[in-house]
Amino acid sequence: MRLAVALVILAGIYAWLPPAFAEEQFLQWDDDVADSFSHEADRAYLVYFQTLEGWSSSLCSAVKFYGRRYGDVSGVYGTVVVYAPPEDMTTLRNSPDEERLQVLARRQFELTDVPTDGGWVEVGVDPVKVEGEFGVVVYTYSTDDHGVELGLSAPTGQESHSGSFYMTKIRVTEADGMEEVQTTDHRIWRTDQREWMIRALISPTIAPPETVTPEEMTGPKIGAHDDGDAEGYYTSQQYGPLVRFAAAPGSRVNRVYVMAYLEGDWFETDREASVYLMDDELRILQRKKLAYSKYATAPAWNYVDFDDIPVTDEFYVLVEPVGRPAVKMYIGADTSGDNHGSLWGTAGTILAWDSEAPEESTNWMIRVRYQ
């Protein structure tokens, strides 16, 4: 209910978009006006957020804060950290002090990047999946002589989502004589109904680091059956989409394109799909691996290169996503017309259709490039 109230108060600022049309946006509790500034000596600035309802997943990729620097901060670095509640908790606000928070992402910034007269500073972090409540902390390592003051909103009339964060470390001697340093997190929540001007950039999808231009996907060297628009995406743990192509005599294939996206714990996965180039009798000409790391949660074309392989007048390309419950690759399907050569199979074999995609109208979004 607290989130719903904030959405009303900050109408137009903390807005919800239907998942199909959602784009990246900043979560915030402040009203965009710095009513005052304050610095927390030996403490960090903490704000917790709630992911948006209706988004199947959320990725945090940046932290933004409004501050002003004072004193000589040359060579001084701050840090932004994205936290999750302790593993056995579902809320950050109500987690006890002695429970360590989970660090999801962190990134340093130079305090000299903060304007002296006040301004916004955005710090990018490696995209990280956030669920439910999560926290953002800005460490400035400020003292009374130098550092960064953060902007505070006027009282909102609602319970504050902001606070201070610090850690204590004590050296404990175990029974066997060994010494161990124990660290405890501490969170002190504001009681004045003010909010730190800290925001988190989230999105329902993240584009892959490298994609293919539309110009590269068309022309006489490209073999394709799809129209470029995917009406659906499909995956499998074994076997996969198979496409039959017809080529001019003497043709060679040097690249296979696949339209796909990922779902699950894909951030640091080393998983790979298998891509086979096979002749007219389904004998393997060459097999390559298509790294999941070429994709993200936004559908995109990417490719794997082949070694200028000579192909028969009719040949096949097979893509086996090899998905698992933890991470899956979904391959695009154009289902707007008749099927022009899309099948289901595995290396050396055409199998009975085993996909939720409609067989009679599916054209797998798999293309080839000829030399």
Give the residue extent of every domain in the chain: 2-203, 214-370
DSSP-assigned states of every residue in 112-156:
GGS-SS-EEEEEEEEEEEE-SEEEEEEE----SSSEEEEEEPPP-
Number of C-beta neighbours around residue 287 at 10 A: 14
What's the pLDDT at 172? 62
Q: What is 214-370's CATH number?
A: 2.60.120
CA–CA distances in Å: residue 247 to residues 37, 101, 107, 242, 328? 69, 58, 50, 16, 32
Residues 6+ apart with CB under 8 A from 129: 57, 58, 59, 60, 104, 265, 267
Answer whether 210's CB lies under 8 Å from 283's CB. no
Distance CA 32, CA 2 (A): 19
Distance CA 367, CA 220 (A): 12
What's the pLDDT at 169? 62
What mean pLDDT is predicted for residues 314-336? 95
What mean pLDDT is predicted for residues 73-78? 94
pLDDT tens readout for residues 212-229: 888 888 899 999 999 999
Q: Which of 202, 205, 8, 46 is nearest to 136 (CA)?
A: 46
| 124, amino acid identity | G
> Is 245's pLDDT higher than 70?
yes
pLDDT tens readout for residues 262-303: 988 776 788 999 999 999 999 999 999 999 999 988 899 999
pLDDT tens readout for residues 157-175: 999 999 998 867 666 666 6
For residue 218 the two structure tokens come to 């068309």
| 252, amino acid identity | R
Answer whether 104's CB lies under 8 Å from 128's CB. yes
What's the pLDDT at 233? 96
What's the pLDDT at 17? 31
